[in-house]
Structure 1
Amino acid sequence: MSIKYAETEQATGTTKYVGQAIDRVDGPAKTTGEARFAAEYPYPGLAYAALVHATIPRGRITAIDTAEASAVRGVIDVLTHENAPPMKPAPKASMLNPSTLVSGTPVNYLATDEVHWNGQPIAVVVAETPETARYAASLVRPAYEELPATVDLASEQHHAVPQKGNMISEAAADKGDAQAALATAPHSVDLTFTTPPHNHNAIEPHATTAVWDGDRLTVHEATQSITWTRRHLAQRFGVPAEGVRVLSPYVGGGFGGKGSVWAGTLLAVLAARATGRPVRLSLTREGVYHTVGGRTGSIQRVALGADADGSLTAILHTSVSRTGRVGGHGEPITAGTRHLYAAPNIHLRQSVVQLDLLPNTFMRAPGEAIGTFALESAVDELAWELGLDPVELRLRNEPDRDPVGGQELAHRRLREAYALGAERFGWRERDPRAGSMRDGRWLVGMGVATAYHPSMRMPANVTVRLGADGTVVVRCGLQEMGMGTATVLGQMAADELGVPLASVRVEYGDSELPVGPGAGGSMQTASAAAGVQDAAAKLKRTLLGLVRRSPGSPLRGRKPDEVEARDGGLYAGAAGQPYAEILKAAGRSHVEVESKAGMLGFVARTLRERRRLVRASTGVQFCEVRVDPDTMEVRVSRWLGVFDVGTVINARTAASQLRGGIVMGIGMALSEQTLIDHRSGRIMNASLSEYHVPVHADIPRIEVLCLDEPDSTMPMGLRGVGEVSITGAAAAVANAVRHATGKRVLDLPITLDKLL
């Protein structure tokens, strides 16, 4: 994908574009319908595929009758475990090879008669039209030998085992004796919280268009990880990675659900190979629920002990979540608790149990989103116990260093965020008594919670090409899911090179481009920023090398730190040259440099930094609700989020990202839950008519403020904004409901029956 920026007035000052509210460059294409998504690319002879899903949670296929389906006019082939060409099994996971980490599950589809969850794809129908494929899929008749299955987290929690940590997230911590401190604390709370499973509902359901040309494969794919998907497909289908091209210029939302390679992708590619035709497989909304993992449910205990003045003496946070018996990820549920509050005694444990369900996967702020609900609800309840203002309780326990490891807290500005937010929201007007505030007949409640998400970056390769005509081309194989990454990349490059934004073109969304980072963990922008900075520095050095051969250049003999990129050239004070002059004098039409970063370097840097630094985006969520005293209907009426995310590269796209996370947090608090039949393991509400995401009427005007202070430990001073704003959001709603009604809801979502 290649984009060019519209004419934009060039600002003045050292920074020209970073920080401005620049319109997203892909906006016109998306709003006019010009943008093509994965299921919209035409090919001659294109065929369509549909999945057949298992209807038992665990067992074996004893027979599968495809005769009636095959007889339907327009059906090209019906692939099952009896006739499908083989795929190689999923590789063993390794942090040094991210392509091994994107397998949604190790199940080798259509290479086994085993069924591991209700909804597992067991056959693929390929036909001339999508309607024919779906109809024929309904005619496939499998027979099963059903085996005992476990699908309920609550009844199986006693089988949970300690969760393993990794280089990014630890699963346990002990400091002092938290149990003893809790037992002797003058004030304490000890609460058990539950959160339900959640499913992905991106506006664009997962889709793949796969085309084989001999041993070369082209895939149009809705993915968050172009590079890793390319390598994964190469491994699974036994072809060189250079022979696989993954194209993903537009992605209609991901939130983690498109961060792995799931059945739809693999089976589309398999069907295309088997039939010799280009094949498109677009999942139905129900198909997404059955083949793409979601967020695990959780059972959490949070116990807090405190002195009379509110100083925490003990923090205990334990969790039980689930994975699939055939894959899934333990979530960092206690991650925020590890870093947010000072206490001499801390006990953290994460445990997991395997169930016969589709493996869980990443979902916006995995672990932290649901973990902060429990922690921040418990902190609020402790404030009620102490008769202390919830904001004041948090400020009294704000640490100077990391509470568990003692590391430096890089650029932490939570105190400033609380001060600004409390003033702006009117927190002083809150009557501290439960049920004391009203607006007509409505009960009014105000709640607050802390937001927290770790800030990291991954390796990213970026090339920058400067032309004699003044144009700049930035190339990186990254993903644009609607968050504005391509827009901010151009802003960065324009400032780093001192050129008008309109002269910058960004190319992305193609695995043929330099290796880009995955769009996950709020890491993509920071990762690409490091590449842009490095490439710009290399470009400056290259240009200074060229002027050495130009006797009349005022830049001769200058070192890189003595020159500044501005006004379309390099300058040392008032003396300098435009880029066009430098290149013309050197007889060059352009110059191109590449910034390269390796996985080994990333691992080494991550381990080194973890020993001395804890780096995170943080924030404060202020929520106001109105509750009907008769029906207990809850309406969120006002919201303010104040965030410390380092440098704000684009004020408009950052605010949009932060608001989006808050909307998801409101959905988590009030409506979203995946309902699983505990007899069959079937998802019972696999549609947007029964899985209730927030609609416009549910969401008030959301005000977002950012401190906009650079973090000197990160590229361009920025930190991730994609996930921090969902953290703490559900707790802010629950705390506001507690203030309005006097009732503490421990189990999400907060529905009428839990308040009546």
Structure 2
Amino acid sequence: MNETVGKPVNRVDGKLKVTGGATYSAEFNVKNLVHGVAVLSTATKGRIKNINTGVAEKSPGVIGILTYKNSMQLHSPSSSDPGGGRFAEKDLLPLQNDRVYYNGQMVAVVMAETLEQAEHAATLVKVEYTAEDPVFDLEKNISKAYEPEKSSTGSETQVSRGNAAEALKTASVKSEQTYGTPVYHHNAMEPHATTAFWQGDTLMLYDATQNVSGTQMLMSAMLGVPKDKVHVIAYYIGGGFGSKGFSWPNTVVAAMCAKLVNRPVKLVLSRQQMFTTAGRRSQTIQKIGLGADQSGKLSAIKHDSTVETSFVDEFVETAGVATSMIYSSPNVAVGHKLVRLNKVTPCPMRAPGEAPGTYALEVAMDELAYQSNIDPVQLRLINHADKDEQKHKEFSSKNLKECYQKGAEMIGWSKRNAKPNSMKEGKMLVGYGMATATYPANRSASSAKAVLFADGHAEVMCSTQDIGTGTYTVMTQAAADAFGLPVEKITMKLGDSEFPKGAGSGGSQVTASVGPAVRAAALGTVNKVVKLVIADAKSPLHGLKEDDLIAQNGGIYSKSKPAVGELYTDILKRQGMAD
């Protein structure tokens, strides 16, 4: 019986990647290709007073220049479909007017025969601005903070139970501190890149995206093109870390450029442009108050976060998303506020919310432990939550206490000197620390298609993408086990919007969402073969019951009599399925 899931195998895409055979979005060899280079705003807020493209247009190799003056009209995308992708700046459709909301906003794209010609001509585009006073500093503008109606991820932004403020006032021991986290930039190995061209009224996009099907739906809505007239491909992606989960201006603008010059256009953000034009993790200011009795039992948890967003969209870094459930307390208050700044819209980045928020909460727990003279591990055990006290739900599984114990044993926690600055190795200070972390088990609807061929190999198709995390390999393993085939006999096809719709890569959900779909598709195909052999008088499995048959060793075999069975190749050949 084949069992590859859970066992080490070579990455099925490994050879292609190390030999340069894996084709990324900017590497497709499209005939008659034009290179596009974005011109970004040097103003932080205001209007374009004048944009002079005359000199650039006469520069060698230039094919065309796209600005708000000659761009096609875009449509505001709808967010009604949960799998429909998200444009990062819904209130700033690119190149539609003269408004400037942040430094680094795309104001023009120069297209030329070569990349070097486009880069040079882009420096010749002269833009004059009517500047306005920007709002740029989170701390200086905290008085402008407001409560958002909802978060970008669907989690609640304001959560409470009991009376945390009052309980904090009367607590025997309390810790009240302010914590901050800075802006982080994604800057994956592969920058944001799009190659776009039109074949009649059909748009072809090679796009570095974490959501192939979502990008298809989004571009259909923004460009006013039927969904079946938008074909998105992302076979290989050089990392995303969340930033490619949103669609940024480069994707739709590349399509607009291709329409303007009637040629394929490649638009790739430079490494410098990645810092200003494709999102980042929000800066946060978090005020945390913890109240406890003398034994360390929490009587109050208060977590208020103020985070930045932009003037052209609303993204909430839900730093307090885990605070209401991670520890037991009768009084909890979690709040989030936003401050609009003249910067590019923030976006998800590697555990958005949990990463900056649990950092702050765990530092606060350590400070409370120090004040209470209680071991940090013991403080967490005292306040262990046996259920989600906010949602009144049991955990499907939870082994956190065992993790605390095992971790403490492995690093010699009990043998350390708990006094700060007390342990040294030579001249180096040594510190021991611990923290609790949590992340939800997200899932999204996904589908797949599986085909078994007469030569005994199988192909499985799903639109979901591999962003460098091993999805090709994991899904190949899932299909191999379902078919009873070795991994070498499985061809996994991903990253194409023409395949059945799969989950976007975000929230650590692809394996849990797409894996069952791949397995179900493969088992569905196997079941068809099972029915064939049961009905076939020439098969050694003729007349057996379905529940006695299993897919293994490259064919269908009897569970009760493992020696009785036949290969897929023999079954399909006898059925006249030679191709």
Give TM-score, length-normalised by structure 2.
Answer: 0.95
The letter of the residue matching 1:129 is T
Give the CA deviation at 1:416: 2.0
Alignment RMSD (CA, Å):
1.9
**1:705 aligned residue:** none
Tell me if the contact between 2:535 and 2:543 (Cα under 8 Å) persists in the aligned partners: no
**1:209 aligned residue:** 195
1:118 corresponds to 2:107: no
1:24 corresponds to 2:11: yes
Query: How far apart are the structure 1 equivalents of 2:477 and 2:60?
Result: 54
The letter of the residue matching 2:375 is D
The partner residue of 1:224 within 198, 204, 210 is 210
C-alpha distance after superposition, 1:618-648 (max 9, x if no partner) = xxxxxxxxxxxxxxxxxxxxxxxxxxxxxxx
The partner residue of 1:147 within 99, 119, 132 is 132
Tell me if the contact between 2:540 and 2:566 (Cα under 8 Å) persists in the aligned partners: no
**Secondary structure of 1:204 counterpart:** coil
Note the 1:125-204 alignment, pairs <5 A. Answer: 125-165=110-150, 168-204=154-190
The letter of the residue matching 1:46 is L
C-alpha distance after superposition, 1:703-753 (max 9, x if no partner) = xxxxxxxxxxxxxxxxxxxxxxxxxxxxxxxxxxxxxxxxxxxxxxxxxxx
The letter of the residue matching 2:116 is E
**1:506 aligned residue:** 492
Give the CA deviation at 1:570: 4.0
1:302 corresponds to 2:291: no
C-alpha distance after superposition, 1:380-425 (max 9, x if no partner) = 1111111121112112211111021110111111122222222222
Give the CA deviation at 1:483: 0.5
Give the CA deviation at 1:529: 1.1
**1:397 aligned residue:** 383
1:276 corresponds to 2:242: no
Tell me if the contact between 1:468 and 1:579 (Cα under 8 Å) persists in the aligned partners: no
Query: How far apart are the structure 2 equivalents of 1:489 and 1:233?
Result: 27
**Secondary structure of 2:339 counterpart:** strand
**Secondary structure of 1:112 counterpart:** coil
**1:366 aligned residue:** 352
**2:60 aligned residue:** 73
Give the CA deviation at 1:558: 5.4
CA separation of 1:309/1:557 partners in 2, compared to 1, >3 Å: closer, same or farther?
A: farther
CA separation of 1:111/1:168 partners in 2, compared to 1, >3 Å: closer, same or farther?
A: closer
Query: How far apart are the structure 1 equivalents of 2:455 and 2:340?
Result: 60
Query: How far apart are the structure 2 equivalents of 1:278 and 1:392?
Result: 62
Tell me if the contact between 2:75 and 2:224 (Cα under 8 Å) persists in the aligned partners: no
Tell me if the contact between 1:90 and 1:100 (Cα under 8 Å) persists in the aligned partners: no
Give the CA deviation at 1:98: 2.7
The letter of the residue matching 2:76 is A
**1:446 aligned residue:** 432
Contiguous gaps of at least 5 residues in structure 2? none
Note the 1:364-443 alignment, pairs <5 A. Answer: 364-443=350-429
1:88 corresponds to 2:74: yes
Tell me if the contact between 1:249 and 1:509 (Cα under 8 Å) persists in the aligned partners: yes
Query: How far apart are the structure 1 equivalents of 2:124 and 2:574?
Result: 72
**1:618 aligned residue:** none
Query: How far apart are the structure 2 equivalents of 1:491 and 1:228?
Result: 26
Give the CA deviation at 1:180: 1.7
Contiguous gaps of at least 5 residues in structure 1? 1-11, 591-756
Query: How far apart are the structure 1 equivalents of 2:60 and 2:523?
Result: 62
The letter of the residue matching 1:101 is R
Give the CA deviation at 1:238: 2.5
CA separation of 1:556/1:408 partners in 2, compared to 1, >3 Å: closer, same or farther?
A: farther
CA separation of 1:37/1:22 partners in 2, compared to 1, >3 Å: closer, same or farther?
A: same
C-alpha distance after superposition, 1:440-468 (max 9, x if no partner) = 01111111111111111111111111223
Give the CA deviation at 1:193: 0.7
Tell me if the contact between 1:59 and 1:146 (Cα under 8 Å) persists in the aligned partners: yes
**1:314 aligned residue:** 300
Tell me if the contact between 1:302 and 1:375 (Cα under 8 Å) persists in the aligned partners: yes
Tell me if the contact between 1:209 and 1:219 (Cα under 8 Å) persists in the aligned partners: yes
User: Kindly, what percent of the aligned residue pairs are identical?
Assistant: 39
Note the 1:466-505 alignment, pairs <5 A. Answer: 466-505=452-491
Give TM-score, length-normalised by structure 1.
Answer: 0.73
1:583 corresponds to 2:569: no
**Secondary structure of 1:335 counterpart:** coil
**Secondary structure of 1:544 counterpart:** helix
1:532 corresponds to 2:518: yes
The letter of the residue matching 2:180 is T
1:101 corresponds to 2:89: no
Tell me if the contact between 1:271 and 1:279 (Cα under 8 Å) persists in the aligned partners: yes
Query: How far apart are the structure 2 equivalents of 1:398 and 1:168?
Result: 26
C-alpha distance after superposition, 1:85-110 (max 9, x if no partner) = x132231322x343252444431222
Greater Cα offset, 114-123 or 233-242: 233-242
Give the CA deviation at 1:559: 5.5
